[in-house]
Amino acid sequence: MTSEVVENEFEFYSKAEKYWKDVPATVDGMLGGYGHISSIDINSSRKFLQRFLWDGPNRTGTTRALDCGAGIGRITKRLLLPLFKTVDMVDVTEDFLTKAKSYLGEEGRRVRNYFCCGLQDFSPEPNSYDVIWIQWVIGHLTDNHLSDFLKRCRAGLRPNGIVVIKDNMAQEGVIMDDVDSSVCRDLDVVRKIIRRAGLHLLAEERQENFPDEIYHVYTFAMR
């Protein structure tokens, strides 16, 4: 439970904002010095996502996606724009979104909105998105705020839409990182929060071929 490790909620959020303001607006900056894993990450994410985009009566649409904690648009550029007609991006750091406009190049014309906002305060437009992608950012939300945000994401889905979380998982419990003011939860804690938000887990997968020294990374699809 984040209530056990986050002593001051205001400080938890403000310290994280300050941390990201000092991070270089580069792929390496977005990945904490592990820029070399970006292609492995994107290729796995594409395979995971495409299983829901295949033909069929319950196929997830490809009209519009939302990239949460988007940074400079690494995922928007390489995963979402190639698969969806339009993409919206949301991130708490204005400099990252400014950088995204040049980083995305010509394809960036299909990014409709750049929302500068913390996810604890962000509400996706109801019934608007086929896929809401949330990667390496849930650790910056308390349990209650994460659950509430996922409820708002559920309301933001179009028919057959999905919410995807891809993030680090602790071996046990909840671990606080004082450097970037984030938490890392174990699988059971994350699954409980997903259920609490009224979402049903459709698929869960562990990322392969990442460096041994980093946390295990899991991807969840839900609606």
119 in a known ligand binding site: yes
Long-range contacts of 145-148 (CB under 8 A, 24+ apart): 145/119, 145/120, 146/193, 146/197, 147/193, 147/196, 147/197, 148/120, 148/197
83 in a known ligand binding site: no
207 in a known ligand binding site: no
74 in a known ligand binding site: yes
219 in a known ligand binding site: no
Cβ atoms of residues 196 and 170 within 8 Å = no
Phi, psi (5° rounding) for residue 40? -60, -45
91 in a known ligand binding site: yes
135 in a known ligand binding site: yes
63, 187, 189 from 57: Cα distances, Å = 16, 31, 32
50 in a known ligand binding site: no
Annotated binding site for S-adenosyl-L-methionine: 69, 74, 91-93, 119-120, 135
Binding positions:
69, 74, 91-93, 119-120, 135
